Structure 1
C-alpha cells in the first residue's frame, strides 16, 4: 500500500497515466490559436476547418504529446509549426474568407507538412504508430479529406524510399 492508502500498483498506474499528458506550453498555444484567429476572421462556424478540424486536433495532439518519443515530439512540433504557418501566411494574410476554399487549402497543406517533417521515416513510424493511432479522432478518420490524405501520404512515402530510410 502507498502513502495515499492505495495499493502500490494503483498509485503507479495513476502516476503513469498522468505522466502521459504534457502541459501545453505557450508556443503550442500560439500555434493552436491561429485556428481561433482564422475563425474570427472568417466565421465558418462549427463545420468550418478551424473549429471542426484545425483547433481540436492541434489541442488533442498537444495534450497527448507525452505518448510520443523524442522523434515523435519533434515531428509534432514541426507539423504544428508548419500547419499554423501555412494558415497564417497562405489563408489569413491573404484574406481568404470562403469556407470551402479555406478547408481545401488547409487540408492540402497537411501532406507536405507531414512528409517534410519526417512522417515516412521508418524509426518514426515504428516507435510512434501506436501514439498516433491513440491520438487520432475516430470522427476524423471517416472523412473523405482524411482518407485522401492517408492515401496520399502512404503513396508519397512508397514513391520516395529515401524518406523511409531517413
Structure 2
C-alpha cells in the first residue's frame, strides 16, 4: 500500500513541476507571461515590454502573411522562446533585454528569414518599427542584414 501512495505522490509532484515551468511554443506567447511570473522584471522589462507584445502582435496578424512567412513566424516564435529560456536562468532583469536580442539574429537566420522575399522581410521589419527606439534593435537589424548577405556570398 505504501508503494502505491509513494507512486501517486511522485506522479502528482511531477505534474505540478511540469505545470510550473515555462514551455516554449510555436503557437502561443504564454511563455513570456510565465517567465515574468518566475522572474518579475516589470512593465519596462524584456518579458512585458518586448517579448510578449511583439510575439502577440505577430501571432494576432500571422494570417496576414504569406504561407511561407507563416511557417517562418511559427518557427522563429519557438526558437526565440527556446533560446531565451537557455540564457534567462540567473540573468538579471537589467541584462535580459540584451541577452534576448543577442539570440534573435541567430534565430531569424536559422529559421529561414533570409529565404523570405524582400517584401516579406520588410513587412516583418515594419511590425518591429516600435522597437527601433532601442539601440539593441538597430544593432540586431544590422547584424541580420549582414548575416543574410554573407549567406549568399
Q: TM-score range by the shorter chain?
A: 0.7 to 0.9
Name which of 71, 88, 94 aligns with 2:85: 88
Match of residue 143 from structure 2: 152
Structure 1 residues 60 and 54, CA, compared in 2 at 3 Å: closer, same or farther?
same
Moved more, 139-148 or 74-83: 139-148
CA contact (8 A) 2:26 2:74 kept: no
CA contact (8 A) 2:26 2:77 kept: no
Structure 1 residues 83 and 131, CA, compared in 2 at 3 Å: closer, same or farther?
same
**Are residue 114 (structure 1) and residue 108 (structure 2) matched?**
yes
Moved more, 61-70 or 97-106: 97-106
Shift in Å at residue 139 of structure 1? 2.4
Match of residue 135 from structure 1: 127
Q: What count of residue pairs does the alignment treat as equivalent?
A: 129
Moved more, 48-57 or 81-90: 81-90
**Are residue 71 (structure 1) and residue 86 (structure 2) matched?**
no
SS, match of residue 46 in structure 1: coil
CA contact (8 A) 1:69 1:127 kept: no
Q: How far apart, in 1, do the equivalents of 2:39 and 2:31 lie?
A: 12
Question: How does the TM-score come out when normalised to structure 1?
Answer: 0.70
Q: How far apart, in 1, do the equivalents of 2:26 and 2:124 lie?
A: 21
Q: How far apart, in 1, do the equivalents of 2:69 and 2:121 lie?
A: 9
Question: How does the TM-score come out when normalised to structure 2?
Answer: 0.76
Deviations 1:24-56 (A, max 9, x none): xx9522xx1111111112111011100000000
CA contact (8 A) 2:35 2:47 kept: yes
Shift in Å at residue 130 of structure 1? 4.9
Structure 1 residues 142 and 111, CA, compared in 2 at 3 Å: closer, same or farther?
same
Q: How far apart, in 1, do the equivalents of 2:113 and 2:122 lie?
A: 14
Runs (4+) off by over 3 Å:
none
